[in-house]
Amino acid sequence: MKRLFLGLAANYSREDRLTQLFARGREEDRADLRSFLSRKYRGEAILARNGRSSLALALKAYFSPGDAIIVNGFTCYAVYEAVVAAGLRPVFVDINKVDLNFTADIIKQTLERNETRGNQKLNIRGIIIQNTLGNTVDINAIESIANKYKLLVIEDLAHCAGAKYDDGREVGTVGVATALSFGKEKSIDTIAGGAVILRSKPHNQIEAPKKAPKLSDYLRSRLYPTFGAMARRLMGLHLGGALIRFLVKIHWIEKSADSRLDLKRTLAKFEARRALMQFKENSHRNIKPIREFRLVNSRDKLLKELRSAGCYFDGFWYEKPVSPSRYYQKTHFPEKECPNAVYVSQHIINIPQYYSKKELQKANAIIDKYTIKEGEE
């Protein structure tokens, strides 16, 4: 029976695992990646330890402590953490259920409500666009709103490097800055690392990270695909989960949401080499959303039925409007103002696009039974 696993480096082939384990890098590889990103996204490229650090650097470059910034109401804790680390206030706005992004109309309503708050009015200065799961926003409409209210746009490419907006522009070439994540299962996946590209002159001076990764982070990045393969092989013996829990406990595996924000450290040399290779490979591909999503009824029951069929889909994005759930309370998420985000988080299941239709045939047949049809909500 074919077993499917989300996470656990499921997108890494045997060749990929060996490459990650034994890849070599030089200082020139970092310089080559910076040069490539500077040309591709037309700005000054700075390499960072991970995606949240990249985003925090972008925010620090253009905003002042106390400023507020609009954030997609269906996102990960890393985005919230980056906003707070920059001394800013996140303003979560609701999403639509079609592509899981905010719209220009939703942003406009948020800004108009803010204008009526008198002394409690927030100093909203920018927008983070994340193009959720690789589904792109209506960029022209959002740019129009941003220009009207003099808001700066930061593009977060964790889900969408290489994708294009409907008007033909490549994602990452629109706002004043672009933040990239090279983390697990992202568009560019070297397990760790990130970058920021500053296109407009920064309002504030920021220092580029120069320290090498910690040895523990370096080794985790090397070994994660191998550990993932070991765990998948042990799933048939019901030991894979126990292995992963043990490796997490002894810190040989780090959950993505627990990756530390660090503005002093950069990515490893071999990660820079791997990232550049993937960028070049992707330039010849038709970039698709990184995950397909469905909205389903009785999600817990569905996941149980999938597990019984040997299909493990518990690692979906996201089970809370700001995931993971263990950090959700820290965000003080405004659930009443974001009902669609709450609804989607309760009903979503999603599937990485690196699985083939044949591999997913059994799983899709089960998921179809639970999928919410249009008009049933």
- Residue by residue, DSSP assigns 12-73 as --HHHHHHHHH----HHHHHHHHHHHHHHHTSEEEEESSHHHHHHHHHHHH--TT-EEEEES
* E runs forming strands in 241-321: 291-295, 311-312
What's the whole-number mean pLDDT along residues 332-336? 96
What gap in Å lies between CA 195 and CA 212, rounded to an integer? 14
- Comparing 91 with 16, the larger pLDDT belongs to 91
- Comparing 259 with 58, the larger pLDDT belongs to 58
User: Helices marked H in 72-172 — which ranges?
Assistant: 77-85, 104-115, 139-149
**CA 231 centroid distance within chain:** 24
Cβ-contact 184, 256 below 8 angstroms: yes
Q: Give me the residue label for tokens 């009824």.
A: 297
Question: b/e string for 364-377 if b means 16 or more Cβ within 10 A?
Answer: eebbeebeeeeeee
What gap in Å lies between CA 161 and CA 186, rounded to an integer? 9
Please say if the pLDDT value at position 3 is more than 60. Answer: no
Question: b/e string for 142-153 if b means 16 or more Cβ within 10 A?
Answer: bbebbeebebbb
3-state secondary structure of 213: coil
Q: Give me the residue label for tokens 């690692």.
A: 315
Q: What is the pLDDT of residues 124-150, one digit of tens each?
A: 999 999 999 999 999 999 999 999 999
Distances (CA, A) of 116 to 68, 109, 122, 260, 326: 16, 11, 10, 38, 34
Question: b/e string for 294-332 if b means 16 or more Cβ within 10 A?
Answer: bbbeebeebbebbeebebbbeebbbbbbbbbeebbeebe
Cβ-contact 199, 42 below 8 angstroms: yes
Q: Give me the residue label for tokens 């889909």.
A: 313
The pLDDT, as a whole number, for residue 70 is 98
**CA 108 centroid distance within chain:** 25
| Structural domains of the chain, ranges and CATH numbers in brackets | 23-198 (3.40.640.10), 291-370 (no CATH)
pLDDT band at residue 368, thresholds of 50, 70 and 90? very high
Lookup: tokens for 97: 């259920």
Give the contacts of 286 (CB within 8 A, at least 6 positions apart): none
Lookup: tokens for 148: 């009207």
Lookup: tokens for 1: 């029976």
Among 93-97, 182-186, 240-244, 261-265, the range scoring the smallest mean pLDDT is 240-244
Please say if the pLDDT value at position 2 is more than 60. Answer: no
- Backbone φ and ψ for 336, nearest 5 degrees, come out as -65, -30
Helix (H) or strand (E) holding 181: strand 177-181
What's the whole-number mean pLDDT along residues 105-133? 94
What gap in Å lies between CA 349 and CA 120, rounded to an integer? 38
pLDDT band at residue 310, thresholds of 50, 70 and 90? confident
The pLDDT, as a whole number, for residue 312 is 81
- Backbone φ and ψ for 59, nearest 5 degrees, come out as -65, -40
What's the whole-number mean pLDDT along residues 35-46? 97
Lookup: tokens for 304: 């149980």
Q: How many CB atoms lie within 10 A of CB 163?
A: 21
The pLDDT, as a whole number, for residue 6 is 65
The pLDDT, as a whole number, for residue 356 is 83
Cβ-contact 267, 192 below 8 angstroms: yes
What's the whole-number mean pLDDT along residues 348-372? 90
pLDDT band at residue 355, thresholds of 50, 70 and 90? confident
What gap in Å lies between CA 244 and CA 51, rounded to an integer? 23
Sign of CA dihedral 356, 361, 363, 368: positive
Work out the mean pLDDT of the chain and round it to a whole number: 92
